[in-house]
């Protein structure tokens, strides 16, 4: 019985170490928004959510107004380049919309981020942008045009 318990503990530690190493490898790969981290379908859903929750302050064209910053072009590039998709998603999730802070689901936020990336000319891919903060933190925002 003791051998079985020790085996289980050692196996559990090995699995945990392998998972940690796997996450570190993903982060070290340097995945960026230039790697097609959202789908066109997700960006279309994000456009609908943006129109419902964001456009009244940030404008229908994402250009910003009054205190709401632009979410496209030079202002967006300067403010978000080299941060992560997780940073952007967390900002949206914890501070927006201004009249109902924290009311957006993680899926809505991921879709809105996909829409912002699409409007900024970042390339779509075959896999949707994840809703989990841990995974979004592994995607660096790179707005440099190829």
pLDDT in tens, 67-111: 899 999 998 999 999 999 999 999 999 999 999 999 999 999 999
Do residue 10 and residue 79 come from a single domain?
no
Rounded to 5 degrees, φ, ψ at 60 are -65, -25
> For residue 124, what are the β-bridge partners?
none
Give me the sign of the Cα torsion angle 49, 53, 59, 62.
negative
Same domain, 95 and 81: yes
Question: Containing H/E element for 13?
Answer: helix 2-29
Q: Which domain holds residue 12?
A: 1-30
Tell whether 141 is covered by a domain: no
Residues 12 and 78 in one domain: no
Q: What angle do CA 145, 78, 139 make, to 5 degrees?
A: 65
Examine the domain organization and report whether 14 and 53 are in the same domain.
no
pLDDT category at 29 given cuts 50, 70, 90 is low
Quote the pTM value. 0.80
Q: Same domain, yes or no, for 9 and 67?
A: no
Residue at 146 is within a domain: no
H helices of 30-146, where?
A: 40-53, 55-58, 73-80, 85-95, 106-119, 133-136
């Amino acid at each position: 019985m003791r051998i079985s318990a020790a085996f289980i503990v050692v196996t559990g530690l090995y699995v945990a170490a392998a998972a940690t190493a796997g996450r570190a490898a993903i982060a070290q790969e340097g995945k960026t928004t230039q790697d097609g981290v959202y789908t066109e379908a997700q960006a279309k859903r994000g456009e609908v959510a943006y129109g419902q929750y964001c456009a009244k302050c940030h404008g229908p064209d994402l250009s910003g107004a009054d205190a709401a910053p632009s979410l496209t072009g030079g202002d967006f590039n300067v403010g978000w380049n080299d941060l992560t998709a997780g940073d952007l998603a967390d900002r949206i999730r914890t501070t927006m919309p201004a009249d109902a802070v924290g009311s957006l689901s993680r899926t809505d936020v991921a879709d809105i981020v996909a829409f912002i990336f699409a409007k900024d000319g970042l390339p779509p891919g075959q896999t949707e942008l994840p809703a989990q903060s841990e995974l979004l933190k592994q995607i660096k925002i790179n707005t440099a045009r190829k």
